[in-house]
């Protein structure tokens, strides 16, 4: 299975696409936890082979919730699953997130993800704001989001600097792969 970085012609949704970071995070999560991530095999960061960077990982059999709306409105395997199966997936997802957040010394372990400036919360806020600024030319301004950014900046918590850095699962879509293995939902996050 290959994960391929988008080209500029693919209308990328991020200002930069650090496939090397994704490769390293999946590898480290696999090494440090029992989270069911596919083993990653090779990273080709230059784009010389396919015209864009990619990495190869093992294939995992299963079903993936659709990540294009309206995935919450039915006519797909997740929305149409019985309530108890949906609940299993929800509980499995929360368990995975808790395991991600409990990786010790995340700031050092995943230091390559950091710009090194300020606190983890400040860096995340700056990343979200830069993503919004990147997207504005295509999607237009959002007065609600801009008021939200202004409010957050004006009401920044004093204790933000004292919080422990954790690995954050950040994605604009479902981006989790969910597979049925022996009747159990197994989840791994696909974006970091």
3-state secondary structure 134-154: HHHHHHCCCHHHHHHHHHHHH
Which residues are 177's β-sheet partners? 188
Q: Is residue 156 part of a domain?
A: yes
Q: What is the pLDDT of residue 72?
A: 61
In terms of C-beta density within 10 A (0-12 exposed, 13-18 middle, 19 or more buried), how is residue 128 classed?
Answer: middle
Q: Is residue 93 part of a domain?
A: no
Closest Cα to residue 119, out of 169, 171, 168, 159? 159
Q: Is residue 144 part of a domain?
A: yes
pTM strictly above 0.85: no
Domains held by the chain: number: 1
Q: Are 43 and 112 in contact (CB under 8 A)?
A: no
Task: Give the Cα separation of 172 and 179 in Å (integer).
Answer: 20
User: Which residue range is the domain that position 118 belongs to?
Assistant: 104-165
Q: What is the pLDDT of residue 184?
A: 41
Q: What is the pLDDT of residue 116?
A: 64
Q: Is residue 59 part of a domain?
A: no
Q: Is residue 56 part of a domain?
A: no
Q: Is residue 80 part of a domain?
A: no
Instruction: Provide the residue-wise pLDDT of the chain in tens; the chain has 192 residues.
Output: 999 988 877 777 777 788 898 899 999 999 999 988 889 999 999 999 999 999 999 988 776 665 565 556 667 777 788 999 888 888 888 888 889 888 888 878 887 777 666 777 777 788 889 889 998 988 899 999 999 999 988 988 776 666 666 666 654 344 344 433 334 444 444 444
Closest Cα to residue 119, out of 160, 88, 154, 90? 160
Q: Is residue 54 part of a domain?
A: no
* End-to-end Cα, the chain, rounded Å: 18
Going by their DSSP bridges, the two strands 40-44 and 54-57 should be labelled as antiparallel
Q: Are 16 and 45 in contact (CB under 8 A)?
A: no
Q: Is residue 87 part of a domain?
A: no
């Amino acid at each position: 299975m290959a994960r391929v970085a988008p080209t500029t012609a693919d209308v990328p949704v991020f200002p930069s696409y650090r496939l090397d970071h994704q490769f390293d995070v999946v590898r480290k999560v696999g090494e440090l936890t029992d989270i069911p991530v596919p083993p990653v095999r090779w990273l080709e960061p230059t784009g010389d082979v396919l015209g864009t960077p990619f990495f190869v990982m093992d294939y995992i059999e299963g079903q993936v919730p659709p990540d294009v709306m309206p995935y919450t409105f039915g006519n797909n395997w997740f929305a149409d699953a019985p309530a108890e199966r949906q609940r299993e997936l929800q509980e499995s997802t929360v368990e995975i997130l808790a395991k991600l957040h409990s990786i010790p010394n995340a700031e050092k372990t995943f230091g390559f993800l950091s710009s090194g400036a300020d606190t983890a919360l400040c860096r995340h806020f700056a990343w979200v704001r830069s993503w919004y600024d990147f997207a504005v030319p295509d999607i237009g301004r959002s007065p609600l989001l801009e008021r939200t950014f202004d409010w957050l900046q004006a009401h920044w918590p004093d204790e933000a600097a004292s919080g422990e850095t954790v690995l954050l699962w950040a994605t604009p879509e479902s981006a989790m792969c969910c597979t049925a293995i022996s009747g159990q939902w197994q989840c791994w996050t696909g974006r970091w």
